[in-house]
C-alpha cells in the first residue's frame, strides 16, 4: 500500500507534517518503537509508530531520524499524547532526511493503525500471489513464438509495472518492454553489462543488484539503499542461460560447466527494481521469464548455423590452398546470404579473434566465435535481427570471421572500406574486461579489405599477424589492424624477450645510470632529438634549451654509448631501443 492511502483513510486521523513529495512510497509493514536505535528490528519499508519516549532534547531527533532513514523506513508517525504536539526539531530532522512525518492524534490508538496496515498489506500480498499464477500462465503462452522477448517484457510492464530490458554481454540492447520509455543510454548499458559479467565471474548468487547514477555503478549490497539521497536507479540483473549451455536456476550459476565457457556469450535481463525484498513467487516468475527468453536465444543461435557452415567451408578452402576459382564459387553462394541486395561480388574483410585463459584448460574457440558474432553486429541493419551479415567459424582456440562489405563505388575509388580495429572494441572494452576478470585475454586482428577470392588467403594471414601484434600489447582486451603491419611495430613484438633486454640494456642503461647520478635527463633529450629528426634548432626549442646545451648533452650520450648520432644506423638503433624499452 502507499503512504497516500493512509493519509486518505479518515478513521486513522493522520496529519501530514512533512514529506508531501514522498507519499507514493510503498508501505510493507508497521513497527511501534520508542528505542533510541531500533535499526536491528527494521528491514525497510516500514511505517514506524513512536510515542517519542526516546527524546530527551532536540539533538536526539537528528540521531533517531538518521537511523530510520538509513534503514530505509517508509515514514514516521509520531503520537501527540506524550508531549501534546510533535516537536519542531523532529519535523526539521525528517525534512533534512526526506522522511515523511505524520502526527497521530492522541484519540487514535497505535493498535488501530497497526491493524489497518497489516490488513491492507496482507490483502495485497494475497492478491499478488493469486495474480502470479495467472501471469505465469500468460507468459508461458506468450513466449518467443508469439513475437519474441518484447512480448514477454511488455507483460512485465503492463501487469507488474516493471521496466525491463534484455542486454547482451557487451551491453547491446536486444529487447525492451513497450512501457520502458526511452532506450537505456549506452553508458548505462555498458555499466550494467560490466556489473553482470563481473558478478558472474566472482560466483555471486543472483539476481545481482546495482545502482547506476549518483556517482557511478555500485552494488546495492555494498551499502547503498535504493532511493537514498545519493540518487541513481537500482537494477536487478538476472542471467539468461540457454538450454544448450545448461539451464540451472534463473538466479544461480549453472552447475555443470565452467562459467568461463558461457559468461562472455550469455544474455541477461535488467529490471529497474530492487529484487532484494521480493517474495519467492515473484522471483520464480522472473526465472520463468529468463527461461522463455533463453528459448529465443537458442532460436537465434540455430539461425546462425547456415552462416557458420558457410564460413567453415570457405575457411577450409582458403587454408588448404584451394584454387581461387573454387573459393570464388563458394563466395558467390555465401554473398546473397550474408549481404542480401548488395551484389554478388562484395569486398571482404577477415577478423581473427582469440580468447585465452590462464591455465589453458578452457577451449577458447567457441567463446571467441560467440564474441565475434556479438562484436561484429551491425546496429544499423534493418529487420528483426540486428545483423545477419557476418559468418564466423572457429578452429582450435581461434575464431575467424568473414565480413562482407559493399563494393566501393566508382566515384569513391581510393577510399578504404571496412572495419577499424580500435572502433570494434571502443564500446565493449570495459564490459569484456570485467568478464575476463584477471585471468583471460581477448585479442583481435583485422585485415584490409580484399575484392576477390585470390586475396582471402593473404587477408587471413594479415589478420593473424595483426592479432599477434595485439597480443604483444598490455591489457585484457586488445586489437590491431592491417595499417600497423607496414611499420616497425610488426617486427618488435616478435623479438625474443632476452634479446630485447640485452639490446636495450646495452644502449640505454649507461644513459639511465648517468641520469640517476646527475639528473641530466639524457634519455628524454635523446627521445626529443630523434623525434625532431636530428634538427638541433627544433629539438632545442622543444626542450627550451640553448643549442650549445643540447650539443653538450648529445655529445655526452655519444661518449657514454660509443655511438655517433650523425649516422643513420646509430639513430635507428637508439630509436628501436626506446620503442622496446
| Helix residue ranges per DSSP H, 83-109 | 88-96
Whether residue 115 is predicted with pLDDT greater than 70 in this model: the reply is yes
Whether residue 577 is predicted with pLDDT greater than 60 in this model: the reply is yes
Can you give the pLDDT at residue 165? 92
Give the three-state DSSP class for 219.
Answer: strand
Average pLDDT of the residues in 409-430: 61
515 or 142, higher pLDDT:
515
492 pLDDT band, cuts 50/70/90, is: low
Answer for the pair 408, 415: CB distance below 8 angstroms, yes or no.
yes
- Rounded CA separation 359/377 (Å): 30
Whether residue 411 is predicted with pLDDT greater than 50 in this model: the reply is no
- Rounded CA separation 122/107 (Å): 26
Q: What is the pTM of this model?
A: 0.57
Which of 119-123, 407-411, 483-487, 554-558 ranks highest by mean pLDDT?
554-558
- Give the domains, in start order, of the chain with CATH numbers: 3-120 (3.40.1390.20), 143-302 (3.30.450.30), 305-491 (3.30.70), 497-580 (1.10.10.2840)
Can you give the pLDDT at residue 78? 92
Can you give the pLDDT at residue 487? 52
- Rounded CA separation 134/1 (Å): 21
Average pLDDT of the residues in 196-207: 77
Residue 395's alpha-carbon distances to 233, 311, 462, in angstroms, are 43, 11, 17
> For the packed helices 568-580 and 522-531, what is the interaxial angle rounded to 10 degrees?
120
pLDDT digits (tens, 9 = 90+) for 219-262: 544 433 333 334 468 899 998 876 554 333 334 444 445 667 77
Can you give the pLDDT at residue 65? 94
Write the burial class of residue 2 (CB in 10 Å: 0-12 exposed, 13-18 middle, 19+ buried).
Answer: middle
Query: ∠372-374-377 over CA atoms, to 5°?
Result: 105
CB contact set of 470 (below 8 Å; sequence gap of 6+): 421, 443, 444, 445, 478, 479, 480
- Rounded CA separation 289/463 (Å): 40
pLDDT digits (tens, 9 = 90+) for 71-80: 889 999 999 8
The phi, psi pair for 127, rounded to 5°, reads -65, -40
Average pLDDT of the residues in 421-429: 74
448 pLDDT band, cuts 50/70/90, is: confident
Estimate to the nearest angstrom the gap between the alpha carbon of 191 and the chain centroid. 4
Whether residue 14 is predicted with pLDDT greater than 60 in this model: the reply is yes
420: alpha, beta or left, given left = phi > 0 and alpha = psi -120 to 50?
Answer: beta
Whether residue 499 is predicted with pLDDT greater than 90 in this model: the reply is no
Average pLDDT of the residues in 93-119: 88
Which of 113-117, 262-266, 295-299, 523-527 ranks highest by mean pLDDT?
523-527
Answer for the pair 150, 175: CB distance below 8 angstroms, yes or no.
yes
* Torsion angle of C-alpha atoms 19, 94, 209, 437, degrees rounded to 10: 130
- Rounded CA separation 87/61 (Å): 9
Estimate to the nearest angstrom the gap between the alpha carbon of 355 and the chain centroid. 18
Strand pairing of 267-271 and 233-240? antiparallel
Give the three-state DSSP class for 66.
Answer: helix
pLDDT digits (tens, 9 = 90+) for 348-397: 888 999 888 776 667 778 888 888 888 887 543 434 444 556 778 888 78
**Most distant CA atoms of the chain, gap in Å:** 101
- Rounded CA separation 55/62 (Å): 10
- Residue 450 DSSP symbol: B
Answer for the pair 307, 393: CB distance below 8 angstroms, yes or no.
no
Query: ∠391-397-402 over CA atoms, to 5°?
Result: 20
Residues in the chain: 581
Whether residue 303 is predicted with pLDDT greater than 90 in this model: the reply is no
158 or 175, higher pLDDT:
175
Among 21-35, 114-128, 278-292, which is the least confidently predicted range?
114-128
Whether residue 409 is predicted with pLDDT greater than 60 in this model: the reply is no
Among 64-78, 100-114, 209-223, which is the least confidently predicted range?
209-223
Average pLDDT of the residues in 553-569: 90
Amino acid at each position: 500500500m502507499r503512504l497516500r492511502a493512509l493519509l486518505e483513510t479518515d478513521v486513522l486521523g493522520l496529519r501530514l507534517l512533512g514529506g508531501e513529495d514522498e507519499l507514493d512510497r510503498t508501505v510493507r509493514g508497521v513497527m511501534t518503537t520508542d528505542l533510541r536505535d531500533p535499526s536491528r528490528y527494521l528491514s525497510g519499508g516500514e511505517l514506524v509508530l513512536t510515542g517519542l519516549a526516546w527524546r530527551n532534547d532536540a539533538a536526539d531527533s537528528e540521531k533517531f531520524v538518521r537511523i530510520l532513514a538509513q534503514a530505509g523506513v517508509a515514514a514516521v508517525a509520531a503520537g501527540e499524547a506524550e508531549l501534546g504536539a510533535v516537536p519542531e526539531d523532529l519535523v526539521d530532522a525528517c525534512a533534512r532526511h526526506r522522511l515523511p512525518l505524520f502526527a497521530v492524534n492522541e484519540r487514535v490508538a497505535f493498535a488501530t493503525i497497526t491493524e489497518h496496515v497489516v490488513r491492507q498489506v496482507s490483502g495485497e500480498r494475497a492478491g499478488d500471489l493469486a495474480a502470479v499464477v495467472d501471469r505465469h500462465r500468460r507468459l508461458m503462452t506468450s513466449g518467443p513464438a508469439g513475437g519474441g522477448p518484447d512480448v514477454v517484457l511488455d507483460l512485465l510492464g503492463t501487469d507488474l509495472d516493471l521496466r525491463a530490458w534484455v542486454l547482451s554481454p557487451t551491453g547491446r540492447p536486444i529487447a525492451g518492454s513497450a512501457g520502458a520509455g526511452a532506450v537505456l543510454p549506452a553508458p548505462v548499458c555498458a555499466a550494467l553489462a560490466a556489473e553482470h559479467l563481473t558478478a558472474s565471474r566472482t560466483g555471486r548468487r543472483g539476481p545481482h543488484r546495482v545502482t547506476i547514477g549518483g556517482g557511478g555503478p555500485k552494488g546495492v549490497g555494498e551499502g547503498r539503499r535504493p532511493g537514498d539521497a545519493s540518487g541513481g536507479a537500482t537494477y536487478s540483473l538476472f542471467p539468461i542461460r540457454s538450454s544448450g549451455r545448461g539451464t540451472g536456476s534463473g538466479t544461480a550459476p549453472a552447475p555443470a560447466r565452467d562459467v568461463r565457457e558461457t559468461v562472455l556469450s550469455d544474455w541477461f535481463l535488467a529490471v529497474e527494481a530492487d529484487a532484494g525484498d521480493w517474495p519467492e513467487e515473484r522471483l520464480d516468475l522472473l526465472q520463468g521469464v529468463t527461461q522463455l527468453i533463453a528459448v529465443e536465444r537458442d532460436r537465434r543461435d540455430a539461425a546462425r548455423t547456415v552462416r557458420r557452415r558457410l564460413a567453415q567451408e570457405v575457411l577450409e578452402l582458403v587454408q588448404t590452398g584451394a584454387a581461387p576459382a573454387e573459393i570464388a564459387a563458394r563466395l558467390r553462394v555465401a554473398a546473397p546470404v550474408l549481404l542480401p541486395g548488395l551484389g554478388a561480388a562484395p569486398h571482404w574483410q577477415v577478423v581473427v579473434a582469440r580468447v585465452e585463459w590462464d591455465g589453458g584448460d578452457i577451449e577458447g574457440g567457441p567463446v571467441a566465435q560467440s564474441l565475434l558474432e556479438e562484436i561484429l553486429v551491425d546496429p544499423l541493419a534493418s529487420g528483426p535481427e540486428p545483423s545477419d551479415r557476418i559468418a564466423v567459424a572457429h578452429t582450435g582456440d581461434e575464431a575467424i570471421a568473414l565480413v562482407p562489405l559493399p563494393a566501393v563505388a566508382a566515384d569513391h575509388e581510393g577510399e578504404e572500406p571496412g572495419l577499424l580495429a580500435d572502433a570494434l572494441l571502443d564500446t565493449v572494452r570495459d564490459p569484456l574486461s570485467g568478464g575476463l576478470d584477471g585471468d583471460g585475454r581477448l585479442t583481435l586482428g583485422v585485415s584490409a579489405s580484399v575484392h576477390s577470392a585470390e586475396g582471402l588467403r593473404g587477408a587471413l594471414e594479415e589478420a593473424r599477424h595483426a592479432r599477434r601484434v595485439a597480443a604483444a600489447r598490455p591489457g585484457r582486451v586488445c586489437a590491431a589492424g592491417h595499417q600497423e603491419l607496414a611499420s616497425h611495430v610488426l617486427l618488435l613484438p616478435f623479438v625474443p624477450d632476452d634479446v630485447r633486454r640485452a639490446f636495450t640494456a646495452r644502449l640505454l642503461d649507461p644513459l639511465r645510470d648517468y641520469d640517476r647520478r646527475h639528473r641530466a635527463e639524457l634519455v628524454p633529450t635523446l627521445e626529443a632529438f630523434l623525434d625532431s629528426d636530428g634538427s638541433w634548432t627544433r629539438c632545442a626549442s622543444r626542450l627550451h634549451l640553448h643549442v650549445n646545451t643540447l650539443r653538450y648533452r648529445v655529445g655526452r650520450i655519444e661518449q657514454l654509448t660509443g655511438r655517433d648520432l650523425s649516422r643513420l644506423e646509430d639513430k635507428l638503433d637508439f630509436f628501436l631501443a626506446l620503442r622496446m624499452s
